Amino acid sequence: MGVEVNYLAVVLAMVSSMVVGSVWYARGVFGNTWIKLAKIDMKKQGAPVWVPIVVTAVVSLLTAYILAHVTFLSNKFFGNSFLQDALTTAFWLWLGLVAARFITHDAFEGRPWKLTLLNVSHELVTLMVMGLIIGLMGV
């Protein structure tokens, strides 16, 4: 069995990740809280601003592709609507692979629980929006 992936859906899901992140971490939304909890020094010069943006775009593209790939397999197995299987797959991948890893690393690093909650919630919204786009567009 070959896996079918809608590449336009993958690209749009990647773009949605960038949009969700831009809104989520905007100063008027959760940005100021994130800066405080993560102890980000906004005056300190780090890598050029385009570096994390490019890294995020590449990683988001990979995430969207994997979500589309696994959604296809889930849909073949469960046989629900493609949208339902996309959203369910996004949720379970978030819970088992994203949230669980964030929580583990943040616990060992002694990060504030509010920061962990903020970041894992962002990832949940990101993956669910990706799943929505992939699910609505189908294969």
Residues 6+ apart with CB under 8 A from 19: none
Q: Where do the H-state alpha helices sit in 3-112?
A: 7-24, 32-37, 50-78, 82-93, 100-109
Predicted confidence pLDDT, tens digits, the chain (139 residues): 799 999 999 999 999 999 999 999 999 999 999 999 999 888 887 778 899 999 999 999 999 999 999 999 999 999 999 999 999 999 999 999 999 999 999 999 999 999 999 999 999 999 999 999 999 999 9
- The pTM score is 0.94
Q: How far apart are CA 67 and CA 54, in angstroms?
A: 20
Determine the 3-state secondary structure of 106 from DSSP.
Answer: helix
Which residue in the block uniquely carries the two structure tokens 């994203």? Answer: 98
